[in-house]
Amino acid sequence: MNTALELKNVSKSFGLVKANKNINLAVEAGSIHGIIGENGAGKSTLMNIIYGMHRADSGEIHFGGQHVDVRSSADAIEHGIGMVHQHFMLVPTFTVLENVMLGTEGGLMLRDGRGAALERLLHLSETYNLKVDPHALVSDLNVGQRQRVEIIKALKGGAKVLILDEPTGVLTPQEADQLFEILKVLRDDGVSVLLITHKLSEIMDITDTVSIMRQGEMVGHRKTSETSPQELAELMVGREVLLEVDRKPAKPGEVRFSAKNLGYTNAQGVVELEDINFEVRSGEILGVAGVSGNGQTQLMETLAGMRHLTSGSLNILGTEVTAADQTDPRIIRDLGVGHIPEDRHTHGLVLNFEARENMILGFQDTGLAGDGKLFDYTAIQKNCEDKMAHYDVRPPNPRLNAKNFSGGNQQKIVIAREFSANPGVLLVGQPTRGVDVGAIEFIHKQLLELRDAGCAILLVSVELDEIMSLSDRIMVLCDGQNVGIIDSAKADRQTLGLMMAGQRQEAAA
Amino acid sequence: MSTPTPPLPRWADLILLPIINLFAAFFICGLIVLAIGENPIEALGVMIKGAFVYSGGLGYTLFYTTNYIFTGLAVALAFHCMMFNIGGEGQALIGGLGAALASFGLGVYLPAPLAIPLAVLGAFIAGGIWGVIPGYLQAKRGSHIVITTIMFNFLAASLMVYLLAGPMLEAGQQSPQTARLAESTLLPKMADMLRPLGINITSSPLNASFLIALGAMAVFYVLVWHTRLGFNIRSVGQNQEAAHYAGINVARTIIITMAISGGFAGLLATNEILGFNHKVVLNFTAGYGFTGIAVALMGRNHPIGIFLAALLFGALTQGGGELDFEFQSITREMVLLIQGMIILFSGALAYMFNPPLARMIAKFVAPKDPANG
């Protein structure tokens, strides 16, 4: 066996938290190796150790059978490690070539380095089918193309091991397929690919071997051909999980929420939403699919009153809202709309506030904060304790600051707050982003319960699986426009993928 | 990336760390005193005696403390909304104008029980107006509050020079100051208030304004942590986006915060003008507005902390006068040096001792599971 990378008993602690405990890992040369685990399982820490951004407290790293001391990412690059981060690290105002050159300009004047870099870039893009125009500005590229630039950057130094951290989160299914094709070419050329993901389907589709992490430990190594999604999920969570959502057919009632020719143009005059029409009935979930950045955020924030719609109108539980009404989130909330924001850290929570204060955020003017002029902390505490118990927030400590909860439990605080208000209409954005498998199961169940209780739910998510398994109907956004609304029973990944790329479907439900 | 240190326990963060910072500041100052050929221990003794022991010393200390409480609260309230109010100096000056206008305009016609609250209110409202304009410009026009409040200090100073040298100048007076305010609006001296109760203290500038300062602390506490407005202020301060999401009117909250913040600074005039000078003199704010930033910083934006920090700065101001008096080679400027060191250690270098201290405590205290799961 030819091992490209081997870790022996690697451990890393942050203060009292053991992020990695005695990790052993062997990656064969010329293979695609998946690393899977819940959020906080220690995947990113481990990759940062390999890439030299953290130093291990103990343990050894071997590259190509040779023990090396990785002190910085420069060391790692020298030993043939390349990494594509989850968040791209490109300068948008530079061309592709300039971005690739970054860090290896070579000498005082740019001219010499540029020629060499261009040659290398063209060579790489030809060898691995990484099609991209060297002279295009990065800001003009789409997400898939930007990712290719990142891969070229990682490979330019002759990387033998390529680490990809959650690479498909921002891609359409078709773009993801193209990425996987590129990875296969790389593998056949002898490069080892380390693929970090929490999507079981990707692991099954593309990897040769897979390692599973849980709470800082390696809990198993499998050959992909000899395992199943069910086994992987159980290893990740440490108990049996329900992968499929048990969704009964919807019983839609009256229309509770509708948009007519809705448009939103931002302060710079850029049209971000155009001519959006939909209606959501009591007892149904309307999913909104699309590659992220195609107007989902603007749609959610416009519906929630955080931005002012600039054309068209909304009908919220019988109240007409037009561009002339300068709405704000307070007015919309008072009409009976709950809102789980897409980004809980930016909008849903005040991280430096205690849990009990977050549990009344948005409801500070209601009886939840006490009946009198002053805050009633006994009532606020009681409110938080009750909701924490009901929604299984852990640890159930109302005095703990929101920032000290795990991602899943932070989300549960937001969900507990919004669901308990018993909204007639609920806007849900990315309900399970950064949430672990166990909590996902719980959140999905709660959403369906609310639907069956008669709530009209609009669900935005970048996880196509989530949209498909929860929604009764699916609206697809592309470039701020509604491409079509289809019945989820008739939707498959292929159709949705084409719609996400902007192809209109004749068969609208 | 460096390894994050374990968090400091609350008691160490609130009590131990400030004491260490203070000690470090005094230590460096001690070295400097030593370098100019005086005995630092002796100098410290003189300062402490001057501030607390000598007859009337405590009265003076608390008089200065009162000023620092007002400006400290002003800075701290704005800071809860994440606004850096550098304009305490100007707001206090205009507060003096407000107190004087209330006194000259209404005070002359009213008895003390009505006139005093009106004059105090005048100081609060005038200071508030000087705070609310930068607040409005920040909230609605995006002009940075730091820049505008600094500019408003200059505006206030120029306005006061113009008024005191012109329209409000006392007839026949050579130095720029107003006539004596209406008697009914003057605050009684603490010594005079306590005498009927059978308590005799040495007469000093300490006056009823000290009680107003204590009241302001209580109001501050209730406002910030027990009212809806306070919740809104803290939400906007910690996360404007989340506050907007929660239906809080961010612009309005900023404007109201700056109004109250300016009002607190304006109350300084109750001490200096209504309680002590009894007329508006030039530059009566003497830098208290700026030192208020250090007081708020050291007091962690909490009224109790602000009181302690204000007491420290008050004692330094008073004790420093004694230093100047007792030692040939030590001048009043030494106090500025000590203040500077304290600001340096507890403000700019606030976290210098934090990591080693946290590691030391973590070694001694048995490791517990961290709170997060």
Provide the pLDDT for residue B5: 55
* Residue A102 contacts B, CB cutoff 8 Å: no
A348 and B242: CB-CB below 8 Å? yes
In a domain, B336, yes or no: no
Give the pLDDT of residue B13.
79
For residue A85, pLDDT over 70 is answered with yes
B370 touches chain A (CB under 8 A): yes
A369 contacts in chain B (CB < 8 Å): 228, 231
Q: Residue A294 pLDDT more than 90?
A: no
Q: Does A110 touch chain B (CB under 8 A)?
A: no
Query: What is residue B207's DSSP assignment?
Result: B
B246 contacts A364? CB cut-off 8 A? yes
Which band of pLDDT confidence, cut at 50, 70 and 90, is reported for residue A444?
A: very high
- By percentage, how much of chain A surpasses pLDDT 90? 43
Partner-chain residue, chosen from B3, B241, B373, that has the shortest CB–CB distance to A395: B373
pLDDT for A409 beyond 60 = yes
Q: How far apart are CA A18 and CA A45, in angstroms?
A: 10
- Identify the burial level of A428 via C-beta atoms within 10 angstroms of its C-beta, where 0-12 means exposed, 13-18 middle and 19 or more buried: buried
Any idea which residue has 């704000």 for tokens? A328
In this predicted structure, the answer to whether residue A296 has a pLDDT above a threshold of 60 is: yes
What's the Cα-to-Cα distance from A309 to each of A54, A276, A295, A332, rounded to whole Å? 46, 11, 13, 13
pLDDT, greater one: A265 or A506: A265
Question: Residue B267 half-sphere exposure, CB side, CA atoms within 13 Å?
Answer: 27
Q: What is the pLDDT of residue B371?
A: 40
* Residues of chain A with C-beta less than 8 angstroms from the C-beta of B244: 306, 329, 347
Radius of gyration of chain B (CA): 22
CA A284 from chain centre, in angstroms, equals: 24
| Contact residues on chain A for B3, CB-CB shorter than 8 A | 13-15
Q: What residues of chain A, 247 to 306, have a C-beta less than 8 Å from chain B?
A: 304, 306
CB-based contacts of A201: which residues, under 8 Å, 6+ apart? Answer: A229, A465
Check CB contact under 8 Å for A352 and B249.
Answer: no
Residues of A in contact with B225 (CB under 8 A): 375
Q: Tell me whether the omega of the peptide bond preceding residue B205 falls within 30 degrees of 0, making it cis.
A: no
Verify whether the Cβ–Cβ distance A346 to B371 is below 8 Å: no
A406 has a chain B CB within 8 A of its CB: yes
Within 10 angstroms of residue A366's Cβ, the number of other Cβ atoms is: 13
Cα–Cα dist A304/A429, whole Å: 11
Instruction: Give the span between the Cα atoms of B309 and B307, in whole angstroms.
Output: 6
CA A400 – CA B372 distance, rounded (Å)? 9
- Provide mean pLDDT across the span A197-203: 81
- B332 occurs within a structural domain: no
Which residues of A fall within a CB distance of 8 Å from B358?
Answer: none
Residue A56: closest C-alpha in chain B: B3
Instruction: Extract the residue ranges of chain B whose pLDDT is less than 70.
Output: 1-7, 365-373
Contacts of A509 (CB under 8 A, 6+ apart): A473, A485, A486, A487, A490
Q: What is the pLDDT of residues B81-119, one digit of tens each?
A: 999 999 999 999 999 999 999 999 988 899 989 999 999
- The pLDDT score that the predictor gives to residue B2 is 40
pLDDT of residue B193: 92
Residue A245's pLDDT is: 73
Chain A residues whose CB is inside 8 A of the B228 CB are: 364-365, 369, 373, 375
Q: Average pLDDT for residues A391-404, to the nearest whole number?
A: 90
- CA distances, B329 to each of A74, B49, B204 (Å): 57, 19, 28
Report the C-alpha gap between B148 and A388 in whole angstroms.
44
- Minimal C-alpha gap between A29 and chain B (Å): 29
How many contacts (CB atoms, under 8 Å) link A and B? 101
Q: Which residue type does A73 have?
A: S
The shortest CB-CB distance from A329 to any of B226, B231, B245 is to B245
pLDDT at B161: 94
Distance between CA atoms of residues B226 and A373, nearest Å:
9
CA distances in angstroms from A145 to A17, A179, A462, listed in the order given: 38, 10, 19
Determine the distance in angstroms separating the CA of B210 from the nearest CA of chain A, rounded to an integer.
Answer: 26
Over range A18-38, report the average pLDDT: 90
What pLDDT band is residue A508 in, cutting at 50, 70 and 90? very low
pTM over 0.90: no
pLDDT of residue A243: 64
In a domain, B128, yes or no: yes
Contacts of B7 in chain A (CB under 8 A): 15
Domain membership flag for residue B282:
yes
pLDDT at B370: 42
Could you read off the pLDDT of A304-343 as tens digits, one per residue?
Answer: 999 999 999 999 999 999 988 888 899 999 999 999 998 8
Taking CB atoms and an 8 Å limit, are A353 and B371 in contact across chains? no
Q: Among the listed ranges A9-18, A55-64, A204-213, A419-428, which one has the minimum average pLDDT value?
A: A9-18
Contact present, A25 and A45 (Cβ < 8 Å): no
Q: How many domains are there within chain B?
A: 1
CB contact under 8 A, A404 and B372: yes
Indicate the average pLDDT of chain A.
88
Coil, strand or helix at B201: coil
pLDDT at A234 over 70: yes
DSSP state at residue A137: B
Q: Which residues of chain B neighbour A373 with C-beta distances below 8 Å?
A: 227-228
Query: Closest-CA residue in chain B for A397?
Result: B371
A330 touches B: beta carbon within 8 Å:
yes
Rounded CA-CA distance A232/A224 in Å is 10
Query: For the segment B339-355, what is each residue's pLDDT rounded down to a tens digit?
Result: 888 888 877 777 788 88
* 8 Å CB contact of A374 and B227: yes
Q: Which amino acid is at A74?
A: A
Interchain pair A350, B238: CB under 8 A = yes
Q: What is the DSSP string of A149-161?
A: HHHHHHHTT--SE
Range of weakest confidence among A195-199, A205-209, B144-148:
A195-199
Q: Which residue type sits at B23?
A: F
> Which residues of A fall within a CB distance of 8 Å from B227?
373-375
Q: Quick one: pLDDT at residue A506?
A: 54
- Please indicate, yes or no, if residue B9 is contained in any of the structural domains: no
pLDDT number for residue A142: 80
CB contact under 8 A, B231 and A304: no
CB atoms B247 and A333 under 8 Å: yes
Where do runs of H (alpha helix) occur along B137-208?
145-165, 190-194
On chain A, the residues whose CB falls within 8 A of the CB of B231 are 357, 364, 369, 375
Interchain contact, B246 vs A53, CB within 8 Å: no
Partners of residue B2 in chain A, C-beta under 8 Å? none
* B142 inside domain: yes
Judged by CB atoms closer than 8 Å, whether chains meet at A347 and B241 is answered as: yes
pLDDT given for residue A361 in this prediction: 95
Query: Hey, is the C-beta of A74 within 8 angstroms of any chain B C-beta?
Result: no
Check CB contact of A351 with chain B, cutoff 8 Å. Answer: yes
Q: Are the Cβ atoms of B372 and A405 closer than 8 angstroms?
A: yes
Which amino acid appears at position A469 of this protein?
Answer: S
Domain range for B313 is 39-326
For residue B294, is it within any domain? yes
**ipTM score of complex:** 0.84
**What residues contact residue B28 under an 8 Å CB cut-off, 6+ apart?**
B341
Residue in A53, A306, A333 closest to B244 by CB: A306
Tens digits of residue pLDDT in A97-141: 988 888 776 666 677 778 888 888 898 888 888 888 999 998 888
CB contact under 8 A, B245 and A351: no
- B contacts of A53 (beta carbons < 8 Å): 1
Q: Is residue B132 part of a domain?
A: yes
Is B366 part of the contact surface with chain A (CB cutoff 8 Å)? no
Q: Using a CB-CB distance cutoff of 8 angstroms, which residues of chain B are in contact with residue A38?
A: none
